[in-house]
């Protein structure tokens, strides 16, 4: 669902107006002025809900012969987590990309191996195949996570045991999907989304025919994209394959944030994950790779509503209108002096009905009441909220450090910053500390014990607007223990960020050090001793 709210703000000197009220945009240290300027009425919010798939478009697998063949490469993924007395389950879908090696492509959100505190989750991954003819709830195999592109929300599993956890007696001979070129897919192309529904529906395999509605870019500094489709699928569609008209695999269904309530509406095109697929299939070894452990790679904790989640705002100075919907392009956090419009969007997921949502704008840490807004949420399970602030003047928005906070039920849930005009090209870190775990609110618990299995470094990062990538290394007694891959910086410019290293066995005693690199240079580091 796309919820478009548009504010056109007029400026006279430094006077910005919004909705039916007006106040001066307050620069740091200035005194508010109550002069009333020209007010433009805010349009009524436009709420557009994705068209539900019709019965003919979404049905069990008895449609065409080609669908029958494609379905043979589609599998069901069930993750059982036993980290306490309560067993938690995650259900989704995957697709076989190498039937002889037992390699499966799915969503990382579904098989995420890390708990919110940074430790490994005690997971067992079950795989069910050929559910077209076999309605049994008993899985066929167990699998392990061997590689992933965390920021793309994609993961590779390998079937390694039978359903009881014993070694495989026979060679695997599963049908593999044919991988196509997602860069050839166009907006009007018909796509087929395959997914297994929740067990309450007898494991029925569904096919949804749809088209791309819009494309969302993760960050201006990368080519990472998501396709948004005009259909809402059950959460168990997470990780499901997307085929083009020729029956080639071109994408994987991914959630905005994995949830047992919110629908799946987005696709990750395979063009951005060619390297992961190729290196996994071509490798003679299919051993486990250490999955990068950082702020963006752990399972998220439930907030004030079950599985509720508010995404960090994203900004752009470019957007287009299609069918009364606002689509942003070229996300960024730094804008040139004189920029007239700033478009922004953020995601809401699983927020209950009648919850108050607030957008609070700040310029140089001074609340800009005239630009801020609030509304009562209608209870939709998932939505992308889009809006803009702007001035019909060549002088543009005032330069400085801007910040947008998103509040729900009077609680701050997400924030992001942008800079207009001058900015610092040198990122900064402050208050670096090391520990072994995180609290539920994301605060590092300092200190380690002799049975520690993970080590984390947390730091307050700022002025990261122009940062392109980051990485980190971990050493034990001056010997390299782990070196992360180089990852795109997609976090907010100012954030309490952390990286780390975890293993399933207790860490050895001695001196452990972590170094965080930004664009190839050391930004911060720390050392801790395990006795």
Average pLDDT over residues 217-224: 64
Which residues face 233 on adjacent strands?
Answer: 264
> Region 439-452: what's the mean pLDDT?
85
Highest mean pLDDT among 128-142, 190-204, 283-297, 476-490 belongs to 476-490
CA dist 399 and 339 (Å) reads 9
Which among 349, 337, 474 is positioned nearest to 402, based on CA atoms?
Answer: 337
- Given pLDDT bands bounded at 50, 70 and 90, which one contains residue 320? confident
Q: How confident is the model at residue 134 (pLDDT cuts 50, 70, 90)?
A: low
Q: What is the mean pLDDT of residues 315-321?
A: 87
Give the largest Cα separation in the chain, rounded. Answer: 81
Tell me the percentage of the chain whose pLDDT exceeds 90. Answer: 51
- At residue 55, does pLDDT exceed 80? no
CATH class of 428-530: mainly beta
The position carrying tokens 């987590």 is 81
Tokens of 256: 């905005």
Q: What is the mean pLDDT of residues 353-364?
A: 95
In whole angstroms, what is the distance from residue 428 CA to residue 56 CA? 56
SS (H, E, C) 251-282: EEEECCCCCCCCCEEEEEEHHHHHHHHHHHHH
Q: Where in the chain is the domain with CATH 2.40.10.10?
A: 66-177+275-286, 182-271
The share of the chain scoring above pLDDT 70, in percent, equals 82
Q: With 60 as the cut, is the pLDDT of residue 293 above it?
A: yes
Q: Which fold has domain 66-177+275-286?
A: Thrombin, subunit H (2.40.10)
Q: Lowest-confidence range among 244-248, 271-275, 377-381, 434-438?
A: 271-275
Q: Which stretch, 103-107, 277-281, 307-311, has highest mean pLDDT? A: 103-107
Q: Does CATH number 2.60.260.20 belong to domain 182-271?
A: no
Contact 114, 293 (CB under 8 A): yes
* pLDDT in the model for residue 75: 94
Q: What is the C-alpha separation between 141 and 32, in angstroms, rounded?
A: 66
Instruction: Encode pLDDT of 36-45 as tens digits.
Output: 333 333 333 3
Cβ pair 437, 446 in contact under 8 A: no
Segment 389-409 mean pLDDT: 89
Residue 202 confidence (pLDDT): 57
Q: What is the spatial distance between Cα 351 and Cα 80, in angstroms, rounded to a whole number?
A: 26
Q: Per residue in 449-504, pLDDT tens?
A: 889 999 999 999 998 988 889 999 999 999 999 999 999 888 888 889 999 999 99
User: If pLDDT is split at 50, 70 and 90, which confidence band does 7 have?
Assistant: very low
Model confidence at 239: pLDDT above 50 = yes
Distance of CA 347 to CAs 2, 312, 344, 440, Å? 9, 8, 11, 22
Predicted confidence (pLDDT) at residue 95 exceeds the cutoff of 90: yes
pTM of the prediction? 0.84
In whole angstroms, give the CA distance from residue 409 to residue 446.
31
Supply the pLDDT for residue 273. 83
Distances (CA, A) of 377 to 228, 353, 355, 408: 22, 6, 5, 9
Choose between 296 and 519: higher pLDDT: 519
- Show the tokens assigned to 181: 């070129």
Over residues 61-89, the mean pLDDT reads 84
Q: What is the mean pLDDT of the chain?
A: 83
| pLDDT above 60 for 34 | no
Segments in 49-134 forming alpha helices (H): 65-71, 108-111
Distance CA 12, CA 370 (A): 14
Question: Distances from the Cα of 343 to the Cαs of 299, 318, 438, in angstroms?
Answer: 29, 7, 34
Angular region, 247: left φ>0, alpha ψ -120 to 50, beta rest:
left
pLDDT digits (tens, 9 = 90+) for 140-151: 999 999 999 999
Tokens for 230, please give them.
């005009």
Determine the pLDDT at residue 517. Answer: 98
| pLDDT of the residue at 70 | 92
pLDDT recorded at residue 287: 63
pLDDT greater at residue 45 or residue 325: 325
Outline where 96-140 has alpha helix (H).
Answer: 108-111
Instruction: Tell me where in the chain the CATH 2.60.40.2560 domain(s) lie.
Output: 428-530
Q: Which of 359, 364, 363, 324 is nearest to 344 (CA)?
A: 359
* pLDDT, mean of residues 185-199: 85
Q: Which of 8-22, 67-81, 124-138, 234-248 has the lowest mean pLDDT?
A: 8-22
């Amino acid at each position: 669902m796309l919820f478009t709210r548009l504010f056109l703000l007029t400026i006279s000197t430094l006077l910005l107006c919004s909705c039916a009220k007006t106040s001066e945009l307050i620069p740091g240290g200035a005194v508010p002025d109550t002069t009333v300027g020209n007010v433009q009425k805010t349009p009524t919010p436009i709420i557009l809900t994705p068209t539900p798939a019709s019965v003919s478009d979404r049905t069990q697998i008895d449609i065409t012969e080609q669908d029958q063949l494609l379905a043979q490469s589609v599998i069901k993924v069930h993750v059982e987590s036993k980290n306490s007395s309560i067993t938690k389950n995650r259900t989704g879908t995957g697709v076989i990309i190498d039937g002889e090696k037992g390699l499966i492509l799915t969503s990382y959100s579904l098989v995420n191996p890390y708990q919110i505190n940074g430790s490994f989750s005690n997971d067992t991954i079950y795989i069910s195949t050929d559910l077209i003819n076999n309605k049994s709830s008993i899985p066929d195999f167990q699998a392990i996570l061997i590689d992933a592109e965390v920021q793309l929300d994609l993961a590779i599993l390998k079937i390694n045991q039978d359903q009881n956890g014993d070694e495989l007696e026979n060679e695997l001979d599963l049908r593999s999907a044919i991988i196509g070129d997602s860069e050839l897919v166009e907006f009007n192309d018909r796509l087929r989304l395959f997914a297994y529904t929740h067990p309450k529906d007898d494991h029925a395999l569904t096919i949804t025919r749809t088209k791309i509605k819009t494309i969302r870019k993760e960050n201006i500094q990368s080519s990472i994209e998501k396709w948004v489709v005009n259909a809402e699928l059950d959460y168990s569609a997470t990780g499901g394959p997307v085929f083009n008209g020729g029956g080639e695999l071109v994408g994987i269904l991914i959630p905005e944030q994995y949830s047992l309530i919110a629908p799946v509406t987005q696709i990750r095109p395979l063009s951005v994950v060619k390297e992961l697929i190729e290196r996994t299939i071509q490798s003679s070894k299919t051993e486990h790779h250490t999955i990068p452990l950082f702020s963006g790679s752990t399972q998220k904790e439930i907030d004030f509503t079950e599985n509720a989640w508010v995404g960090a705002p994203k900004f752009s100075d470019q957007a287009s209108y299609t069918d009364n919907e606002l689509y942003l392009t070229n996300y960024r956090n730094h804008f040139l002096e004189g920029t007239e419009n700033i478009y922004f969007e953020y995601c809401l997921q699983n927020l209950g009905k009648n919850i108050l949502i607030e957008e609070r704008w700040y310029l140089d840490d001074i609340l800009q009441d005239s630009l801020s807004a609030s509304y009562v949420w209608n209870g939709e399970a998932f939505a992308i909220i889009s809006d803009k602030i702007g001035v019909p003047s060549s002088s543009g928005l005032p330069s400085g450090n801007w910040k947008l906070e998103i509040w729900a039920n009077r609680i701050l849930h997400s924030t992001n910053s942008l800079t207009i005009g001058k900015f610092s090209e040198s990122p900064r870190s402050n208050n670096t500390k090391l520990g072994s775990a995180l609290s539920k609110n994301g605060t590092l618990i300092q200190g380690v014990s002799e049975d520690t299995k993970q080590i984390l470094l947390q730091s307050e990062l700022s002025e990261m607007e122009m940062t392109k990538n980051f990485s980190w290394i971990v050493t034990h007694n001056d010997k390299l223990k782990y070196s992360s891959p180089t990852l795109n910086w997609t976090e907010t410019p100012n954030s309490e960020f952390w990286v780390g290293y975890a293993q399933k066995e207790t860490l050895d005693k001695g001196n452990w050090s972590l170094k965080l690199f930004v664009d190839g240079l050391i930004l911060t580091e720390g050392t801790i001793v395990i006795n």
